Amino acid sequence: MLTVHHLGKSQSERIVWLCEELGIDYELKLYARAPVLAPEEYRALHPVGSAPVIQDGDVTLAESAAVVDYIIAKHGNGRLSVPKDDPGFADYLYWFHFANGTLQPAFMRLMVSGRFDPPADHPALKLGQSRMQRILGMMETRLAQVPYLAGSQLTAADIMTVFSLTTMRYFQPYDLSHYPCILQYLVRIGARPAYQRAMLKGDPGMKPLLG
């Protein structure tokens, strides 16, 4: 049995959502933050000590992208990925890795720099804000062309990305009102029954930031 260890308000929500979209059997174990970081019992699951972590028989695996790839290959029969001979394969790969390679680090840089309460004109803060605007602007352009990041259908690229646009904003507030296509995208995501089930199971007391 696949076990998903979900730390509340964390990137492991992606894995719960993935399992719900795929309709696979899994056991969900929930962990509350203590008070901000993962509790000791969660950190003991894997040397890195961060979410997500899954266990599947003798396999213990961390890192969102690795976990998503593993579940799709082992339990999803390739669903929610894009085959290499599909015209959209490169787009899928780009946006899949964009999530934790570009978007999430940009939010993290803003969050860390904000902890030092720099003046509004501080070069590092201005650089981080400018980069975030470019990143979100690129997403806005993409989502003006297609309903989902890899094209016409939801894929794991979306599952990797949505956390940064929603739950991450509990840690680093960010106004998305200038990005109507991103907001429409989040409405589409929020209407998906599998997403609703995942959020209700994983973080029942949290309202998803879909606007």
Q: What is the pLDDT of residues 59-117, one digit of tens each?
A: 999 999 999 999 999 999 999 999 999 999 999 999 999 999 999 999 988 887 766 66
Within the chain, residue ranges assigned H as helices are 13-22, 40-43, 64-75, 89-98, 104-115, 123-143, 156-165, 168-171, 180-190, 193-202
CB < 8 Å & 24+ apart, contacts of 20-23: 20/194, 20/195, 20/197, 20/198, 20/201, 21/80, 21/154, 21/159, 21/192, 21/194, 21/195, 22/71, 22/72, 22/75, 22/76, 22/79, 22/80, 23/194
pLDDT of res. 120? 65
pLDDT in tens, 171-209: 999 999 999 999 999 999 999 999 999 999 999 999 999
pLDDT in tens, 112-132: 776 666 666 666 667 768 898
pLDDT of res. 121? 65
- As a whole number, the mean pLDDT across the chain is 94
2-80+196-202 against 89-192: fold identical:
no
Between 3.90.1200.10, 3.30.70.2660, 1.20.1050.10, 1.20.120.140, what CATH number should domain 89-192 receive? Answer: 1.20.1050.10
Where are the domains positioned within the chain?
2-80+196-202, 89-192
For 2-80+196-202, CATH number? 3.40.30.10
